[in-house]
Amino acid sequence: MIEFQGKLAIFEFNHWQYHVPVSDEISGKMMDSNHRRVLIWIENEGPFHMALMKAKDYWYILINQELRNRFKLNEKPSFPIKIDRDHSKYGHEMPEELQVLMDQDEEGASYFRSLTPGSQRMMVYTVTKVKSPESRMKKALAIIHHLKLAKGILDYKQLNELIKYYNKL
């Protein structure tokens, strides 16, 4: 784990504006050719799952509005950041609800494993971001149901409709 003073920076040219530049020295220690996922602690809170991104001249991590507001980053000239490699398989911890369903449904699990790593990460995050165990289970059920209906081809519009349906149950 490496600690450094982060400074909020803003890109002027796109909607993913707010970020923290990461030195080449630090980013080089955090990644290899197949791995750019990192864990970030801001002011000793975290970890937050993120990815190192490359701008034209430097590496950075995106800082969303929720984190900017939570830590009042727009008001600070710098703030402590800790960074470490994210060794989790999906860039997030696998939620128990989704794992249980995949353990019980080989067809759904097979379709999940056939997704790209980024799509797997998005499905895991979709379940993880919900706090209530009941809601996580409903999202996991909707995802597995969708993957089986669509034979493993993600259709986000259809998936969102299934999530809405399961949320009403």
Q: How far separated are the first and last CA of the chain, in Å rounded?
A: 44
Q: Is the confidence at residue 60, as pLDDT, over 80?
A: yes
The domain made up of 2-85 has a fold known as Elongation Factor Tu (Ef-tu); domain 3 (2.40.30)
The verdict on whether omega for the bond into residue 117 sits within 30 degrees of 0, i.e. cis, is: no
What is residue 17's predicted lDDT score, i.e. its pLDDT?
A: 87
pLDDT grade for 32, boundaries at 50, 70 and 90: confident
- Domain boundary assignment for the chain: 2-85, 96-168
pLDDT tens-digit readout, 109-161: 999 999 998 899 899 999 988 889 999 999 999 999 999 999 999 999 999 99
pTM over 0.85: no
Q: How far apart are CA 13 and CA 39, in angstroms?
A: 26
What gap in Å lies between CA 165 and CA 52, rounded to an integer?
Answer: 36
Q: What is the pLDDT averaged over residues 10-15?
A: 76
For the residues 71-78, what does the mean pLDDT come to?
A: 93
Mean of pLDDT values over 29-55 = 89
| Alpha carbon distance 54, 63 (integer Å) | 14
14 confidence band (pLDDT: 50, 70, 90): low
The β-bridge partners of 60 are 21, 53
